[in-house]
Amino acid sequence: MAPQHLISIDDLSDADLRHLARRGLDIRNGGVTTHPLADQIVGVYFSKTSTRTRTAFTSGALRLGARTIAFGPHDLQTNTGESIEDTAKVLNRMLDVFVMRTAGDPAEMRMYAEDNRMSLINAMSATEHPTQALTDLTTLLWRFGAIEGLRILYVGEGNNTAAALALALSRYESVNLELRTPPGYGLADELLARVNPKVVVERHDMLDLPEAVDVVYTTRWQTTGTTKPDPDWRDVFAPFQVTGELWRSSPEAVFMHDLPAHRGEEVTTEVIDGPHSIVFDQAENKLHSAMAVLEWCR
């Protein structure tokens, strides 16, 4: 079989998306008893910091029977002027899977996948974080039993996590995802053109918030590997902090966060460490979801 790549949520069929979300839950519930990646070599390349995603894919590959090679930001010869094309041709002849995190455009990742010998997994790029979205779908299945019919309020920057979440939830007609993003920090127009407008709605204020939502979701304000040109950006973001006030109209909602979190900035301590928070179960699901993706790729 030819290797399969996960560079964008758009690379997945509806059936693939649902399979991966469900398979992550199956694995959480003990659904791996063999080593389907035995004799496989998985390269794990992170040019930016990572705790959960890097550990999840490395640990997941080992649990599935693979052996791993770790590459840091200064390890590849692209740092000394070798072309991506040449580097990719070499890696395709030596690896079975390449898990890759950069602060660049996903188009660069597609260059690594062109030889089509190794599978390429986007572990986060500047514009999209597809494996986080799959983790989130698995988490929703784990918590609610189904994704259909859920109402989700996302508060914060329209970053790569928000982009992938919007693309993934767009596949579920009966879901409602409402994003409240600071002015000037919303989803990119190109991304909005790819989502289902019946599912995804975006506003740039905190007025008239939806009531009786099932999930309140946020991410850190300073996305990994990025900076903001506006020196006063924190003033723009301040009204979008997730506080306990959001639970007045949604007392049964759970709280999700892709982590790392900065308490006192995007979320208050009482919320993230409170009874509604499922952020560490969500983080654990990174492992199970990573295993599902690795299994699917090969």
Instruction: Give dist(CA 49, CA 87) in Å, integer.
Output: 22
Domain 9-128+290-297 is found in CATH 3.40.50.1370? yes
Model pLDDT, residue 90: 98
154 near 178, Cβ under 8 Å? Answer: yes
Model pLDDT, residue 225: 66
Residue 218: name the closest of 239, 197, 248, 192 by CA: 239
43 near 97, Cβ under 8 Å? Answer: yes
Tell how many helices (H) and how many strands (E) occur in the chain.
Answer: 10, 9
- For 34, the token pair is 């063999």
Instruction: Give dist(CA 272, CA 256) in Å, integer.
Output: 8
Instruction: Please provide the CATH number assigned to the domain covering 130-283.
Output: 3.40.50.1370
Cα 17-12-188 angle, rounded to 5 deg: 100
As averages over each run of 10 residues, the pLDDT of the chain (298 residues) reads: 93 98 97 93 96 98 98 94 96 98 89 96 96 98 98 97 98 96 96 96 98 98 81 96 98 98 97 98 98 96
DSSP 160-206: HHHHHHHHHHTT-TT-EEEEE--TT-S--HHHHTTS-TTTEEEESS-
Task: Give the domain ranges of the chain.
Answer: 9-128+290-297, 130-283
